[in-house]
Chains A and B, each alone.
Chain A
């Protein structure tokens, strides 16, 4: 949830997408300005934060970077529950990753969080010679589902900051904390609780 303080917003953001699409690389580029050609796979999940200034407010992103393989799909809900924003990432040089991205979009739409700001990112835009997913395709799918769309390159930094800034701008400005007590995940095998608290910074 995005919560507000005095001109200060705290927003949970989750990255989803096929393995190797570049989720971690996008985050690392955005948060640390780094890029590693051989960024190791994410095991479990990673958490990072980065604050951006938009107009007269600041937005602190609490970013959850998840493992891409579908095998770990059952863990995903605990990371996207309660998120204010989601970036669904695919690799423009990989058709399967685009198909996977569509599934994530559908899953998130079914979660029924109307306030969720969703972005579709066609990553690895630097690999235009190996392109398999045309820009128009991505754009069309995004429009269809009312997502915000951008082609990015974590490697060249193209559109990376823009992506996050655009999300920051789209976040509801004074969204009340809707579920202040935190979101409880109940569909896991052990049934134990997992909550992500939306801490208010006010």
Chain B
């Protein structure tokens, strides 16, 4: 081979240095010195890293983040024993207009003893649950990582209490809006003042009137906030809270009862009441979806932009007014148009309160209320009071709302559409916290979740993608992976030799081989050529694409090569920069996506059929529109699904999207919800312009490059959560990318028959 060296091309740049810096540290001999000892080397690395992470890291501006504060030797003291202190690095990271805090323990001390469990402390004090560590036994790595703070958004913080003991280090206790608190963070090198000052630059931080050592975050003390508070929050919060409570008890989705629906009696036009599936009161999933619904109704405060298209048309808003008025009496409705205009102005730019009354939501309660103009879903308030407990006892994944007084400032809107900004991508340092001493991923679900929300730093993709694609097992060790790599490299060489040793003479008598080779060659020269990585003639990377694809067509001879595969391989090669590894990652991806390429198109049909059902569930009017326009085959979404939106986004965003999809977090069919989210975004245009199949296909094809990924991901997430079990029921088992159990399917599934007649 020897071609890998050619691959070291444009892409690495500074990130290589970063990787080296990180790996240097992780390889450093483990030290048992007390964590409180300053580590001069760390300082050097901080500088290097800080320089590196400044500015745009992930390529596109929406991914830019900036480290605005770094402090080393900030420690957690799980017990009174100095030897058990866990030292780490505290950082404030600015991502878009949002601020995140991370605290990541240094990965250096060896801890081997038994597990010790700690509860997340409440009320700012540490509580030892199992108490096993009280004897002074050190923690193992997993326990250290228990304390890792992974990208908590400032909007999730309620307050910070500063402690300045007469002797010893200053520490702070951070209380979250959900009432939980992080363990005290001891600043062994000082820096509390600077920490608070930095926070102050990015958020509303005010001293509590009751306690000068307590700083309230995002408290509503400024005049604007105060006026909003008097209008909305003070009245709404308690009501909303009690309503939430009540509905939980009733174990059904949260829709504020309108007055005419009386004593909790189901209103036919409201969600999930009369026609929801039989209730299973103790079904956790059901409870979960209830909470999702609650959140969904609450998100609206912040989500006019998103919600307007996501939750359906605005057509019914006028007709909705009478209902709204009632809701308003109950303080459920704080829609924009009910606010005094000066307030409305002050909210300009802020995600606002109006929600589109969603005709698709009605679908769950009343059939096809699209045209009769009966409003149903409430214009919810914004409060998410107990929801945080549902989601975020660990790290809250999706808080649709922000707790009472922590309303975001107006200019926070873009990043806070759902009340929680996207955390920065997973970096090397944090990645290390997911691994145990032997390199096993300790909690792969947490890892997947982390990636689902934040993505992966480009330099780290090469390693982590192998896990997401299941080329690496999550529970494999460093050693096993090294072995696997060697072994797979040899296997690849063997496979490649199978076709490379075909002589010209043999090829003359081997039409199938000639065909495949020629097809691959036709496509690789027109795959992502505008990208520097694949630009220029005689580019060795194009040769690599070719070799990998031909080898794959021998590895999976039944399937062969199909158009679209080169699109799927291109980003993998770009990330892996190694021929054999790219091959195996591509093969792993094809384990999931092969049915997309089956000759009978059943893999595609099952997905398009599932999409039909999802749209029917989540946007009935749009479904009805497609039906009357004879577009129910959904072929206009063919390209989206066949190659995982590869042609719809720019390269950086494709990679970002793929790693989200590959986590299978929330749903292994998350791509279907992406489809729904995009369609919903353009539903009005589609219906207003009366698009038919041809114009629709043209419109959809031309959306390429014009879809905003982050907001679509958020929409898809919301739709997925909202659809819950009903959504899952739309997608039959075995629908790609579900990995089908191997069965020996008839060859007619695969064969191209160019050389025979059809």
Contacts and interface: CB of A to CB of B under 8 A. Distances in A.
A44 B638 contact: yes
Given A41-B526, A193-B633, A96 B515 contact: yes
A108 interface: no
Contacts of A38: 525-526, 529
Interface string A71-84: 11111001000000
A126 B566 CA distance: 27
B635 A71 contact: no
Interface string A32-74: 0000001111011111110000000000001010011111111
B639 A44 contact: yes
Contacts of B757: 103
Given A43-B642, A72-B563, A190-B605, A20 B522 contact: yes
A127 to B, nearest CB: 14
Given A19-B519, A41-B563, A44-B639, A194 B630 contact: yes
A73 B756 CA distance: 14
A67 B563 contact: yes
A182 interface: yes
A28 interface: no
B519 A69 contact: yes
A36 B190 CA distance: 60
Sort chain B's interface into a size bin: 35 or more
Contact of A74 (B600, B693, B697, B701): B600
A41 B701 CA distance: 13
Given A41-B526, A41-B563, A43-B642, A193 B632 contact: yes
B568 to A, nearest CB: 11
A182 B601 CA distance: 24
Contacts of B632: 192-193
Interface in B510-529: 515, 518-519, 522-523, 525-527, 529
Which of A38, A44, A195, A199 has the largest count of B CB atoms less than 10 A from its CB? A44
Contact of A43 (B639, B752, B758): B639
A103 B647 CA distance: 30
Given A43-B563, A44-B642, A195-B630, A70 B753 contact: yes
A4 B523 CA distance: 40
Given A38-B529, A71-B599, A189-B601, A47 B697 contact: yes
A77 to B, nearest CB: 12
A69 B529 contact: no
A44 B166 CA distance: 72
A46 B601 contact: no
B599 A47 contact: no
A38 B525 CA distance: 7
B536 to A, nearest CB: 11
A22 to B, nearest CB: 11
30 contacts: A38-B526, A41-B523, A41-B526, A41-B566, A43-B563, A43-B564, A43-B643, A44-B635, A44-B697, A45-B638, A46-B701, A47-B698, A48-B698, A64-B694, A68-B563, A69-B562, A70-B753, A70-B754, A70-B758, A71-B562, A71-B597, A72-B563, A75-B601, A103-B757, A182-B630, A188-B601, A188-B633, A189-B605, A190-B633, A195-B630
